[in-house]
Structure 1
Amino acid sequence: MELITTEEFARMLSTSKSSLYRLRGSAGFPKPIYLNNKSVRYRLDEIIEFINKLPRER
């Protein structure tokens, strides 16, 4: 299980961390894993699944 940071997740979506935080309420959004009070990670496999379910641009 590979974990990535919020910054890395935002880069994968070509968006800012602020926009990523707004997406947290979206259906299927990966659950954050809290390592401590300030350190959040996401599972890469869940991120890939989430990205694959996003609507495609034409």
Structure 2
Amino acid sequence: MTTDDLVRHLRMSRVTIWRKRAAGAFPKPCALGGGQLRWKRRDIDEWIDRLPVSDPVCPIPPRPPAQRPRDFGRLL
């Protein structure tokens, strides 16, 4: 897979992929020569499988019913 393939497949920017590579948090590419890099799809899929699963989004509890505004005019 090329970098462009990864951007589309992972829905990540090139910069994010580069940063993850620099941090050692991304599969290593294969160098083809001439500065060309390619990733094995299998390595990418295994990396995805090892990513932690995030918790499902917690539903927001409903708001209590709105209270009627106070009428301070009677107090004056």
Structure 2 portions without partners, runs of 5+: 57-76
Normalization by structure 1: what TM-score? 0.76
Once the two structures are superposed, residues 7-54 of structure 1 have per-residue CA deviations (whole angstroms, 9 ceiling, x without a partner) of 11122211111110111121xx22111111321100110100001111
Match in the other structure for 1:22: 19
Mapped partners of 1:18, 1:9: distance in 2? 12
Match in the other structure for 1:55: 52
Size of the alignment, in residue pairs? 53
- Structure 1's consecutive aligned runs of 4 or more residues displaced over 4 angstroms after TM superposition are none
State the structure with bigger RCO (CA 8 A, min sep 6), 1 or 2: 1
Among the aligned pairs, what percent are the same residue?
36
Structure 1 portions without partners, runs of 5+: none
Question: Which protein has the bigger strand share?
Answer: 1
Equivalences for 1:1-58 in 2 at 5 Å? Answer: 4-24=1-21, 25-26=24-25, 29-57=26-54, 58=56
